[in-house]
Amino acid sequence: MITVITSTADNISAPFDKRFGRAEWFCFYDSEKDMVSFQKNEFSNVSNGAGVRVAELMVEKGVKKIISGDFGPKAKEILKKFSIQMVVADKKRVEEIIELIK
């Protein structure tokens, strides 16, 4: 199962990013393969609709669960529609979250 954790940089010791649509990076954690990969968020600086476009990306990537600090209403609507679980966390670093869901 693929879980996405919003991250401020491209490594697991990076601070957790509490924004969803405007997160700097996404950490994709594949629990079956126990593998981690990172993708830069190309929508982090768009003037509007960041959450919507990132939600679209998550559906396309087949993500099942997203861990972030908060989710905007427009993004929420799409994620809910495609049954992607939204988890609100308050941790300092990405690796702490990975340890918790392993």
Partner 1 sequence: MSYKIAVVSGKGGTGKTAFSISLFNFLRSNLERSKVTIVDCDVEEPNISLFLKDKTKFYHKLITQDVAVIDEERCKFCKKCSDYCAFNAIVVIPRARYAKVDSSLCHSCGACYLACNYDAIGTKQYVAGEVDGYKISSNSYMYEGRLKVGSPMQTFLIGELKKELPQDDTITIYDSPPGTSCSVVETLSGSDFVIIVAEPTAFGIHDMLLVRELADNLDKPCGIVLNKVEDVERAVEYIPSQHRNDFLGALPYSVEFAWNYACGELSYSNEERLKESYFKIFSKLFINEGADCFKR
Residues lying near partner 1 in the complex (CB under 8 A) are found at: 43, 46-50, 52-53, 55-56, 59-60, 74, 78, 81-82
Contacts of 102 (CB under 8 A, 6+ apart): 31, 34
Nearer to partner 1, 46 or 89 (CB): 46
Cβ 10 to partner 1 shortest distance, Å: 24
Cβ 68 to partner 1 shortest distance, Å: 18
Nearer to partner 1, 74 or 93 (CB): 74
Nearer to partner 1, 75 or 97 (CB): 75
Cβ 73 to partner 1 shortest distance, Å: 9
Contacts of 53 (CB under 8 A, 6+ apart): 21, 43, 46
- Cα separation of 30 and 19, whole Å? 21
DSSP letter string over 16-48? BP--STT-SEEEEEETTTTEEEEEE-TTTT-SS
